Chains A and B, each alone.
Chain A
Amino acid sequence: MKVQYVSPFAEASVNVFEMLIGCKPERGSLSARPQMFTSQQINIVCGITGRVEGLVIYGMSMITADKIASKMIGSPVVTFDQLAASAIAELGNMISGHSASLLAAEGYQCDITPPTIIRGTNVSVTTLDIPAIVIPMSLPEIGTFEINVSLQERLAQAA
């Protein structure tokens, strides 16, 4: 998988976090996984379709999700309810949307699907036979936000 598909997601997450909750994440070092896999408690899954296609999963701990949702909603999240889940899903939607704009600017026109939240650890997604690249983003005083990107260029355009 080309690194140029991955960089827009790191850049987009920095922009979105800064604007949304006033927190600048620090990018950690990239690692690769042979398959899409997440060991995080809260995962937002977004599909990407177009010139590049595949999946992106944003993973974080429950505590991190609570802290981000509290900042987005503007009041403390006591239980991770429907509103908190929706805020976290929307965060994934914003980062994916922003990334799609950056990819389009590089000539990779693509669209995103509505986000899905998966709760539970050790989730492996095996619909795609392409490796995943993981970018850990460290949010000061909030926690780690992990971006798993599994994309490939579409070889033949549909007629």
Chain B
Amino acid sequence: MAKRILITDDALFMRVTLKNILTQNGYEVVGEATNGSESVELYKQLKPDLVTMDITMPEMDGIAALKQIKAHDPTANVVMCTAMGQKNMVVEAIQAGAKDFIVKPFQAERVLEAVSKLLAA
């Protein structure tokens, strides 16, 4: 059965791009959240195998959403996918439980490498 992924990004363009990369490589995109609070809600409803998480978003940012998802499910696979690549942001995300950190703009291979590594186990 295809692994189920929840995409979180406020930009329609990024959601479409990520969805194309993932579905063309055998993953199922079960949900698309446009901000952090939607992502937390959808995570609880859909129980995906993995979440991609943008950081700069309206309403609730990706770091706050990551913390809430990890509080709800400590085993959650969350991969940050953001334009903010500074060291303190990466450290904060990893400390909060993110499994990987992808800086935009990215190549499709970078996303697939991160996802397959986490979902192979």
Our count of residue pairs bridging A and B at CB distance below 8 angstroms stands at: 62
Q: How far is the CB of A9 from chain B (nearest CB, A)?
A: 13
Q: How far is the CB of A90 from chain B (nearest CB, A)?
A: 4
Interface residue count on the B side (C-beta < 8 Å): 20
Main secondary structure, interface of B, reads loop
List, in ascending order, chain A residues with CB within 8 A of B119's CB: none
In the complex, A90 Cα to B87 Cα: how many Å?
21
List, in ascending order, chain A residues with CB within 8 A of B104's CB: 90, 93-94, 97
Q: How far is the CB of B111 from chain A (nearest CB, A)?
A: 14
Q: Is the CB of A104 within 8 A of B87?
A: yes
Contact of B105 among A94, A100, A104 (CB under 8 A): A94
A101 within 8 A of B: yes
Q: Which of B24-32, B37-45, B66-74, B78-86 contacts A (4 or more CB under 8 A)?
A: B78-86
In the complex, A114 Cα to B83 Cα: how many Å?
11
Q: Is the CB of B85 within 8 A of A101?
A: yes
In the complex, the 5 A-B pairs of residues with the closest C-beta atoms, listed nearest first: A97-B83, A104-B86, A86-B13, A86-B12, A87-B13
